[in-house]
Amino acid sequence: MNNKDLIARIEALESRLMHQEATIDELTRALLGQEQLVTSHKKAIETLENQLQSLNAASIMQPGEEPPPPHY
């Protein structure tokens, strides 16, 4: 192998490495975006769960507190 062939191979490897690094950076940004979205969705679900629990607690009446059925 002569110098020109080695230089060409090294340049090709460097080019592939640059593309791989760019792809890794792009995937990292996408992953961080997804992580932020998941965190946001978790917070929204927790808020909805808390609202649902408070609605359930407010709507449950003791047997003596329930109004009589309409036919009485």
Please list the helix, strand and coil fractions of the chain in percent, rounded to the nearest 5, in that order: 80, 0, 20
Please report whether residue 36 resides in a domain: yes
- The pTM of the full predicted model, rounded to 2 decimals, is 0.63
Distance CA 15, CA 49 (A): 51
5-40 per-position pLDDT tens digit: 999 999 999 999 999 999 999 999 999 999 999 999
Answer yes or no: is 41 within a domain: yes
Position 22 in a domain:
yes
On whether residue 64 sits in a domain, the answer given is: no
Q: Considering the domain boundaries, does residue 40 fall inside one?
A: yes
- Distance between terminal CA atoms of the chain? 103
Q: How many domains does the chain have?
A: 1
Residue 10 lies in a domain: yes
Domain coverage including residue 32: 1-47
Q: pLDDT tens digits, residue range 47-58?
A: 999 998 888 776
Domain-embedded: residue 66: no
Vertex 43, ends 39 and 48: CA angle to 5°?
A: 145
Token pair in block for residue 71: 């036919």
